[in-house]
């Protein structure tokens, strides 16, 4: 049975000799389809020398960098991957190979301005097939050949070719009406997110705020919004509205990860429940009014009258209140005249 203390001392000695540390991988979270993507791998070797850097996609090696080989970079065929390989020049006698003084510590053993080297690799014209896991594996040279590996995921995004469109079932409502809006955006990968707003207030799904979302691969993305008058958002907006006519701005915002954002919006005219009643129906049209309106018996805007209804429409409650006050005054005046006649 091996001595535990001996194993501990050997482990400490091994860790002391190991110089490869702080390995970090940097892979774009999202790249637009057809663009280039640069992946990088950073590490420290201290006193050790670099043996190799290998890149894998979903477990398949597609790029290898070995400083001691000539040329140091090699690519391997993997479906969908095109590596932007550097143009390696023939080195003359006594000419240095990299940007580090000693070739054994070379981290970038290509002429400056190239796209792929010991610490990075550039992929040209990425396709949707390259959505997945990338791994960077770094090994130090003899005698230990200590190896470490890191991985990260990249998403290739296909943007929609058409701008988002919105349709409304109503363009004019009252505060007691419901309405429905539909937002559609073209085919994309991954499917676009659709977020709804009314007057800059974000709308969340609730019993009075009904939101549906539908997306299938290869087809446009669709979302609908149905707002009922008891919606808390609408109630808050209506309470802060000025009297009579105003409007709602309905907007759908389209987003794909952090690289695509567009929106579509339309306005809905909102009017309060206004009822205009002819004053003569409430007994408010005296003979003076008839003479001033050139014989217009009902003071109606349709016949050219310039009375109360034409100057400014009033709410039903307001008109009833005014009518009640005037009727009370007329009734009081009639009683006074009767009393005086009796006294005579």
The pLDDT tens digits for 244-253 are 668 999 999 9
Among 37-46, 102-111, 229-238, the range scoring the smallest mean pLDDT is 102-111
Does an H or E element contain 152, and which?
strand 147-157
Same domain, 153 and 176: no
How many CA atoms are closer than 13 Å to the CA of 152, on its beta-carbon side? 14
User: Which residues does 296 contact at the CB level (< 8 Å), separation at least 6?
Assistant: 290, 303, 304, 305, 307
Same domain, 141 and 170: no
Q: Is residue 111 part of a domain?
A: no
Q: How far apart are CA 231 and CA 233, in angstroms?
A: 5
Residue 125, sorted as left (phi over 0), alpha (psi -120 to 50) or beta, turns out to be left
Q: How many domains does the chain have?
A: 2
Same domain, 262 and 218: yes
Residue with tokens 């049209």: 285
Is residue 27 within 8 Å of residue 152, measured between CB atoms? Answer: yes
Q: What distances in angstroms separate CA 201 from CA 40, 195, 252, 306, one per listed residue?
A: 41, 11, 11, 42
Same domain, 256 and 197: yes
pLDDT bracket for residue 83 (50, 70, 90): very high
Residue 280 has pLDDT above 90, yes or no: no
Residue 68 tokens, joined: 């001691």
Q: How far apart are CA 49 and CA 61, in angstroms?
A: 22
Q: Is residue 307 part of a domain?
A: no
Q: Is residue 145 part of a domain?
A: yes
Same domain, 121 and 221: no
Beta partners for residue 224, in sequence order: 182, 212
Residue 226: CATH number of its domain: 2.60.40.10
* Nearest partner of 46 among 133, 141, 176, judged by Cα: 141
- Segments in the chain forming alpha helices (H): 4-17, 232-239, 287-292, 308-311, 316-343
pLDDT 10s digits, 300-329: 333 344 443 333 444 445 545 545 545 544
Is residue 25 within 8 Å of residue 56, measured between CB atoms? Answer: no
Same domain, 32 and 71: yes
How confident is the model at residue 264, as a pLDDT?
Answer: 96
Is residue 152 within 8 Å of residue 99, measured between CB atoms? Answer: no
Same domain, 150 and 202: no
Same domain, 55 and 148: yes
Same domain, 186 and 136: no
Q: How far apart are CA 195 and CA 251, in angstroms?
A: 8
Q: Is residue 133 part of a domain?
A: yes
Q: How many CB atoms lie under 10 A from the CB of residue 198?
A: 21
**How are beta strands 246-256 and 37-44 bridged, if at all?**
unpaired
Query: Hey, which of 147-156, 283-292, 301-310 has the most confident mean pLDDT?
Result: 147-156
Q: Is residue 99 part of a domain?
A: no
What domain range includes position 249?
165-270
- The mean pLDDT of 172-197, rounded to a whole number, is 95
Same domain, 25 and 145: yes
Same domain, 145 and 181: no
How confident is the model at residue 320, as a pLDDT?
Answer: 53
Among 97-106, 267-276, 278-287, 289-298, the range scoring the smallest mean pLDDT is 97-106
Same domain, 145 and 238: no
Residue 99 has pLDDT above 70, yes or no: no
How confident is the model at residue 242, as a pLDDT?
Answer: 79
- State whether residue 234 is helix, strand or coil: helix
């Amino acid at each position: 049975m091996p001595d535990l203390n001996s194993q501990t001392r050997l482990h400490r000695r091994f860790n002391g000799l190991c110089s490869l540390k702080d390995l970090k991988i940097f892979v774009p979270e999202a790249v637009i389809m057809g663009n280039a993507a640069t992946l990088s791998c950073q590490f420290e070797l201290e006193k050790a020398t670099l043996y190799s850097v290998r890149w894998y996609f979903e477990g398949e090696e597609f790029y290898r960098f070995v400083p001691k080989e000539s040329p140091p970079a090699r690519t391997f065929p993997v479906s969908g991957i095109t590596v932007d390989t550097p143009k390696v020049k023939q080195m003359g006698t006594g000419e240095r190979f990299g940007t580090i003084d000693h070739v054994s510590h070379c981290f970038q053993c290509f002429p400056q301005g190239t796209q792929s080297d010991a610490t990075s690799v550039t992929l040209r014209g990425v396709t949707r097939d390259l959505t997945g896991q990338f791994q960077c594996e770094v090994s130090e040279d003899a005698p230990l050949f200590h190896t470490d590996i890191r991985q990260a995921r990249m998403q290739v995004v296909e943007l929609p070719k058409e701008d988002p469109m919105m349709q409304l079932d109503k363009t004019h409502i009252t505060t007691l009406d419901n309405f429905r809006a539909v937002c559609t955006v073209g085919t994309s990968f991954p499917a676009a997110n659709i977020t709804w707003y009314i007057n800059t207030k974000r709308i969340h799904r609730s019993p009075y705020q009904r939101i549906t979302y539908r997306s299938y691969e290869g087809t446009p993305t669709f979302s609908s919004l149905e707002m009922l008058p008891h919606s808390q958002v609408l109630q808050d907006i209506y309470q802060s509205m000025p009297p009579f006519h105003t409007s709602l701005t309905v907007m759908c915002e389209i987003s794909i990860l952090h690289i695509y954002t567009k929106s579509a919006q339309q306005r809905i005219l909102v009017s309060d429940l206004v009822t205009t009643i002819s004053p003569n129906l409430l007994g408010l049209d005296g003979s003076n009014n008839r003479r001033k309106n050139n014989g217009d018996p009902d003071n109606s805007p349709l016949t050219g009258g310039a009375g109360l209804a034409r100057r400014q429409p009033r709410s039903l409650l307001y008109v009833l209140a005014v009518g009640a006050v005037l009727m009370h005054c007329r009734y009081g005046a009639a009683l006074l005249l009767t009393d005086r006649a009796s006294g005579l």
